[in-house]
Amino acid sequence: MEFDFLSGEVILIDKPLEWTSFDVVNFLRFFIRKVYGIKKLKVGHAGTLDPLATGLLIICTGKKTKEIVHYQGMVKTYTGSMQLGGTTPSYDRETTPDQHFEYGHLTIDDLEKARQRFLGEIDQTPPLYSAVKIKGKRAFDYARENKPVELKKRKVIIHEFQLTNINLPHVDFMVRCSKGTYIRSLVNDFGKALENGAFLSGLRRTQIGAFNVSEAFTIEKFRSLILAQNGISDN
């Protein structure tokens, strides 16, 4: 496998836990430029993953960055876990729980009825702890400064939403959805539909269109491959 990063490459990366999507972009840009002696290189990703999520990132380089919009519009598939009985300001484990609820009375039938409310086109409000821009500023900046801000609802499509394992308060799930869907918001709204609370405890993006995370490089494997192709010792 030979690469031509300036003419353009589409690289599948399995994003590590606690890396931001921009961490991956910045690492690859610096690494590729250094190994190949390239002064300037465009590198971008086709869809953000939160730091606490892992999984498939589509990375485009050089002239292929013009195709990013195409990949962004593809249907995405996730597997994840949620915890019932509580909420957090960020809708995930980034922040500590701020509300607690009893969950022992919830039944599988209750969960199934709630699940069915989130199929097809739905209105969704992005999390306050998100990269959505409001008046030129990221929403999470307002959140961290404890400043009130209003986030507008958006229409997204949930093509498939399955509860794959239920062991209260933990619920595993699979979601196939449109561009712009926040899984954290879906989980938070699912908790509300139960008249309870829920927050995201784990998330992995497994597919974007026909691209699967099983075909993706880890950062370490990609780095080792490039070094080997260029005859550089991996020390």
How much is the pTM? 0.91
| 169 preceded by a cis bond (ω within 30 of 0) | yes
Q: Do domains 10-73+212-229 and 76-208 have the same CATH topology?
A: yes
Q: Compute the distance between CA of residue 87 and CA of residue 177 in angstroms, rounded to an integer.
A: 23
As a residue count, the chain comes to 235
Q: Where are the domains of the chain?
A: 10-73+212-229, 76-208
pLDDT tens sequence across 5-61: 999 999 999 999 999 999 999 999 999 999 999 999 999 999 999 999 999 999 999
Give the side-chain half-sphere CA count within 13 A for 52: 18
In eight-state DSSP terms, residue 225 is H
The answer to whether the Cα torsion of 36, 54, 76, 133 is positive or negative is negative
**18 backbone dihedrals φ, ψ, rounded to 5°:** 75, 0
> Residue 132 pLDDT > 70, yes or no?
no
In eight-state DSSP terms, residue 152 is P
pLDDT tens sequence across 143-196: 565 666 667 889 999 999 999 999 999 999 999 999 999 999 999 999 999 999
| Residues catalogued as catalytic | 50
What's the fold here for domain 76-208?
A: Pseudouridine synthase (3.30.2350)
Q: What percent of the chain has pLDDT over 90?
A: 82
> Residue 127 pLDDT > 90, yes or no?
no
> Residue 77 pLDDT > 90, yes or no?
yes
Query: What would the DSSP string read from start to end of 70-138?
Result: HHHTS-EEEEEEEEESEE-TTSBTTS---EE---TT--HHHHHHHHHTTSEEEEEPPPSSS--EETTEE
Domain 10-73+212-229 is of which CATH architecture? Answer: 2-Layer Sandwich (3.30)
